[in-house]
Amino acid sequence: MAAESIAPMDERVYPILAQAGFSHALFNPRQHRACQLVDLYVLHIAVDLLDRLGLAAALAHPRTVAELLEAQRFVPLFRLPLRWLLERLAAAGVLAREETAGERRYHVPGPLPPVRREELRREALEVDPSYAPTFALLDEAAAVYPRVASGEITGERALFQKARLWCAYFSNENGYYALTNRITALVAAAHLAPEGGAILEAGAGLGSATEALLEVLHARNRLGDVTGYAVTEPVAFFRRRTQRALTTAYPDLPLTFSSLDINRPWTDQGVAAATQQLVWAVNVFHLARDLEATLGEAFATLVPGGWVVLGEGLRPFPGQCVSAEFPFHLLESFVDVETDPEIRPIPGFLTPEEWQRALARAGFAAVETIPDVVRIRDLFPGFFAVVVCGRRPPAQGRTGGS
């Protein structure tokens, strides 16, 4: 559990990333170490929470999640965050895990390793100071976990009242979060048809992904090819901030702003069918209550030959815990989703195969993940940033698109 245990990135990964069009400025040894330090930091938080939640003593003997909920008098809504913590610790060897009659039991096999959060945070910020908002969010989530477990407060109330926290985290100034924005913007720009067209962005939040795409289009002299850009975000506070920033920065761009809820029929919210050449989003679609239905709405919104481009946190292998999920497991919007054994067996991030099946089920063709994470995960199983793409098949005789 020490920082010295972090291995350098397998050098064979970088050519795969380069083939996807991602430069060394995006993925490099510095970025790799900073991300790995975040991962290790979350593990140390999880060990710390064993003590703060009273679980170390409770796990002197093997217990299931349900047994722990009852013994510790945790609220039922804490089941998924608790399961995530136990699975993360079991994967690291801090807890032992056994499965009998379809039930998983966990116990502490020996002394817990020392917790060195301050040391890890300091080293990570020396590697990349821009990661400070990420550590601020992780620390805030860790601080409220016991209160959420006891039912004293909900995750939404505890975290969403921290507006400055989210504004700093969902920013391209935060190197940890900006990575997915940057790679998705590159892929989205590449999938805007040569003749241009209309763009719809779902869940734009504070506009950091929007800014990333517009920067790429500007650099490629393609802003004039955008016939309309629908920036959608259901949270009014986020939407107003985004509108002020973008209309000031891009006064000549045909921007519109609305409160699209991806869980409701899009046409009922003013989005006409078959009007958009590109539908895209960053870290939004894994929150869809019914993923297949939401992908179906995106499909119907696209013109024939149009593309959906989704930047997403990735679960490289089934059941694998991803550290970026840690704070979000406290939020009902993250966990209150419909599961499906083929496309989303558990809430949160999806595997590449699950994304491919989900898009194919919704009718998309030419489905791919960029970069090729199936190749990458065999070399580095901790890779978690991916862009998922799918195309609405062109009308007969039409070949538009990228």
- For residue 101, the model assigns a pLDDT of 83
Q: Break the chain into its structural domains and give their ranges.
A: 25-169, 175-391
SS3 content of the chain, % helix, strand, coil (to 5): 50, 15, 35
Say what the pTM is: 0.95
- The CATH code of domain 25-169 reads 1.10.10
DSSP β-ladder status, 385-391 and 365-370: antiparallel
Contact criterion met (CB below 8 Å) for 12 and 379: yes
- The domain made up of 175-391 has a fold known as Rossmann fold (3.40.50)
- For residue 402, the model assigns a pLDDT of 42
**CA 161 to the chain's CA centroid:** 21
List, for residues 208-233, the tens digit of each pLDDT value.
999 999 999 999 999 999 999 999 99
Q: Which residues, other chains included, contact 268 with Cβ-Cβ below 8 Å and sequence gap of 6+? A: none
Task: List C-alpha distances in Å: 228 to 5, 58, 201.
Answer: 49, 57, 11
Kind and range of the H or E run holding 209? helix 208-219
Specify whether the backbone of 253 is left (phi greater than 0), alpha (psi in -120 to 50) or beta: beta
Rounded distance between C-alpha atoms, residue 295 and residue 257, angstroms: 21
B/e letters for 145-164, b = 16+ CB within 10 Å, e = fewer, are beebbeeeebbeebbeeeee
25-169 and 175-391 have identical folds: no
Of 367, 385, 389, give the one whose Cα is nearest residue 17. 385
Weakly modelled stretches of the chain, pLDDT under 70: 1, 397-402
In eight-state DSSP terms, residue 284 is: -
